[in-house]
Amino acid sequence: MTGIKQKLLSLVEPDLQKIEVALENNLTPHLELVRETAGHLMFAGGKRLRPLLIVLSARICGHENEFVTKFASIFEFLHTATLLHDDVIDGADMRRGKPVANAVYGAAVTVLTGDFLLARALNIAAESESMRIIKVVSGMTEEISQGEIHQLIKKGDITLSEEEYMDVIRRKTGVLIQGACKTGAILANASSGEEQALTKYGDHLGMVFQIADDILDYTADTGELGKAVGADLREGKLTLPVIHALREANPADRARMETIIVNTGFTNEEFDALRKLLNRYGGIDYARAVAADHVRAAKAQLEIFEPSRTREILAMMADYALQRRV
């Protein structure tokens, strides 16, 4: 465990405990199978990034009460719902070091449990009786599904531009992380300046998280990652390291990379060859630099708040998002 992760975990431990309780309490399905299927993934060591962001965003605006933790569940439920549907769609085998729900419970139960969690999230949002929160949550849900479909359409398209990639990851991942920060601010009745700063912080943080994920798919090993390395490319998903390397490569190397990418059934040797080319053309470094810009931009948004432990934690989360190994 890296130093920053250890430090962060010790700082947010009390919040994480409350979040776990809230997730359990707010799940309340009428059927044991739903709890089991949802729990299979939801209680398999997720980072609780999104619920934490609500709690911390509300706190930095001076707001602290039990309802915040309750509404924090919304974002973990939505996140889990999208992962469950992703697992049906992607055909991946492993997630968080476990077989995917799809492999254990079948596609039918997995799709329906995703639907249940989505519906549950919207019910909890409705309980807030805040029209703004309801609109943030339902709006996010629509954005995410469109981002996922956009990604699907672009699968295997080696002409995917950096701009399109950014658009897809913003909708697929960014929207939910940003929404968590914004909702925290709304719950806190924050000033519009504070709300805007947290929303922008969330936007940058979301980009860091997804770009870092995409880098890890090339740099981690399977044991660390809890899922197969190179999975993105095997599913035909072009991410920033590859997009940059393809752009920079000479025609011969570009052709070599394209051959490997188009053949999603590539061998380990071919994947290693591709990784070497990514490095030669600075694909990983470029992606890290873009993510580092977002880390700086995220932290800059926090400057409008007085220095505090909470501000420190939010800043550390931005650093951790890029440095993490899983």
| Interface with a copy of itself (CB under 8 A) | 29-31, 33-34, 85, 88-89, 107-109, 111-116, 118-120, 122-123, 125-126, 129, 131, 134-135, 138-139, 141-142, 144-146, 148-150, 152-153
CA 31 and chain centroid, separation? 28
Minimum distance from residue 236 beta carbon to a copy of itself (Å): 11
Minimum distance from residue 149 beta carbon to a copy of itself (Å): 5
The two structure tokens encoding residue 166: 């950014």
- Give 117 or 215: the residue with its C-beta nearer to a copy of itself: 117
Minimum distance from residue 256 beta carbon to a copy of itself (Å): 29
- Give 15 or 87: the residue with its C-beta nearer to a copy of itself: 87
Minimum distance from residue 138 beta carbon to a copy of itself (Å): 4
Minimum distance from residue 23 beta carbon to a copy of itself (Å): 16
Cα–Cα dist 42/79, whole Å? 9
Contacts with 138 (C-beta within 8 Å, 6 or more apart), sequence order = 122, 125
- Give 50 or 85: the residue with its C-beta nearer to a copy of itself: 85
- Give 113 or 199: the residue with its C-beta nearer to a copy of itself: 113
N- to C-terminal Cα distance for the chain? 10
Cα–Cα dist 276/270, whole Å? 10
Contact at 8 Å (CB) between 288 and 323?
Answer: no
Cα–Cα dist 119/124, whole Å? 9
- Give 150 or 254: the residue with its C-beta nearer to a copy of itself: 150
The two structure tokens encoding residue 173: 């991942």
Stated as kind and residue range, the H or E segment containing 296 is: helix 283-301
